[in-house]
């Protein structure tokens, strides 16, 4: 499980690194030659920089799909209170559920916060009562339905 404050090797990003990342955010399929031409450096430099950024887990090029394109029409925030079991263990079980795409062990009123995507409301009953509620250590769950997504920044995420 990735932790925000985890002690991992750090890398100093210079302007070339930052520009490579910015260009790849706009077009993740750009070739090293295209990037090199835009940056005014050699393709070998771009290749070495990308490899270094990936090795230090500073960057990862991935495809991002819109929820609606995959047929998801319902987005939920599910808060979980845990009792009698470490929250990390419960979080790991929640993370195995295909509908759950984000799991966070948190402080505050709940022990775990998850984000869940469903195709329709018909799946809600099954997910809550069959899947989530039967995980040992869950004391209570509280759902919030996303009425509108105001911001969802996929450009920055933990890379494991």
| CATH number assigned to the domain comprising residue 31 | 1.10.10.10
Are residues 74 and 119 part of one domain? yes
Count of domains observed in the chain: 2
Closest by CA position to 24, among listed 59, 48, 55 = 59
pLDDT above 60: residue 5: no
Note whether 134 and 82 are same-domain residues.
Answer: yes
In a domain, residue 40? The reply is yes
- Cα–Cα distance for residue pair 25/49, rounded to 1 Å: 15
- To the nearest 10 degrees (0 to 180), the angle between helices 15-26 and 32-39 is 130
Max CA separation in the chain (angstroms) = 59
Which residue, chain included where needed, has tokens 């995980």? 135
Q: How many CA atoms lie within 13 A of 108 on its CB side?
A: 8
Instruction: Please give the model's pTM, rounded to 2 decimal places.
Output: 0.71
Domain containing residue 37:
15-55
Mean pLDDT is lowest, of 53-67, 68-82, 95-109, for: 53-67
Question: For 129-143, what is each residue's pLDDT tens digit?
Answer: 889 988 999 999 999
**Element (DSSP H or E) covering residue 94:** helix 87-95
Same domain for 51 and 96, yes or no, is no
Tell me if 157 is assigned to some domain.
no
Tokens (6 digits) for 112: 């775990």
Is residue 72, in this structure, part of any structural domain at all? yes
């Amino acid at each position: 499980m990735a932790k925000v404050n985890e002690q991992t090797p750090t890398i100093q990003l210079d302007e070339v690194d930052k520009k490579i990342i910015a260009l790849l955010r706009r077009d993740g399929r750009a070739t090293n030659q295209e990037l090199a031409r835009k940056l005014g450096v050699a393709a070998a430099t771009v290749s070495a920089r990308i490899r270094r950024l990936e090795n230090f887990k500073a960057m990862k090029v991935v495809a991002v799909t819109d929820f609606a394109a995959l047929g998801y029409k319902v987005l939920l925030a599910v808060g979980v209170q845990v009792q009698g079991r470490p929250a990390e263990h419960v979080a790991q079980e929640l993370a195995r559920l295909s509908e759950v795409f984000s799991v966070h062990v948190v402080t505050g009123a709940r022990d775990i916060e998850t984000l869940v995507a469903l195709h329709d409301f018909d799946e809600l009953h099954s997910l809550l009562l069959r899947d989530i509620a039967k995980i040992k250590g869950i004391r209570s769950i509280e759902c919030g339905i996303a009425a509108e997504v105001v911001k969802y920044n996929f450009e920055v995420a933990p890379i494991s």
